[in-house]
Amino acid sequence: MSDYEGVVSMKRRMMVLVLVVAMLASMVFVPVSASAAKKVKILQVTEDRARIRLGPSSAYGVITSLKKGSKVFYLNKMKDSFAYICSSGGVKGYMYKGYLKSYGTVYSNQIYRCKSKGYLYKKPSTGSSHVAKLSKNQHVVVYQVKGNWAYIKILSGKGGYVKKSILTKAT
């Protein structure tokens, strides 16, 4: 083997080594950034007409009430026997923790709200059949984004596709 072939072979080995290190680094750092998002509990309402209140006791006014089976996001704040929650419609307030049970968990960076009314489609096409209507300010969970479409689930459990343009990060 000539000196020239030896140098080329060495350069190839170095390039392969650099690529392997880069791939390993990307595998290590991607999950770390994904895990930086906080987990958010989804809770299910166990009583019909469970009230969302302005404050953490029954002395506070009622904002609205929810049906049994409704899902809410727990906002990591408990005061006395009341949990601070956000309904699928974006209403934030306190609910008696005895009316709530654990349902599941998502990451905070998956929670979006609808900027306008829209439809949840069976396939990523406006020509596809509708799965559900979406309301302005409705909170949804985004699982995948592909082009102009996002695959989401609404808190009732229904899943489908929505135009990405009607979604914005929930606050």
Q: Read off the pLDDT band of 13 (50, 70, 90).
A: low
Task: Quote the CA–CA distance of 152 and 74 in Å, as a whole number.
Answer: 19
- Token couple for 149: 């479409």
48 and 103 housed in the same domain: yes
Mean predicted lDDT score pLDDT of the chain: 86
Residue 161 structural domain:
109-169
What's the pLDDT tens digit per position in 94-106?
999 999 999 999 9
Output the pLDDT for position 101: 97
Domain count across the chain = 3
| Whether the Cβ atoms of residue 128 and residue 147 lie closer than 8 Å to each other | no
114 and 104 in a common domain: no
Same domain (yes/no): 70, 114:
no
Most distant pair of Cα atoms in the chain: their distance: 89
Which of 62, 82, 108 is the endpoint of a domain? 108
In tens, the pLDDT along 16-46 reads: 554 544 444 443 333 333 456 899 999 999 9
At 63, which CATH number?
Answer: 2.30.30.40
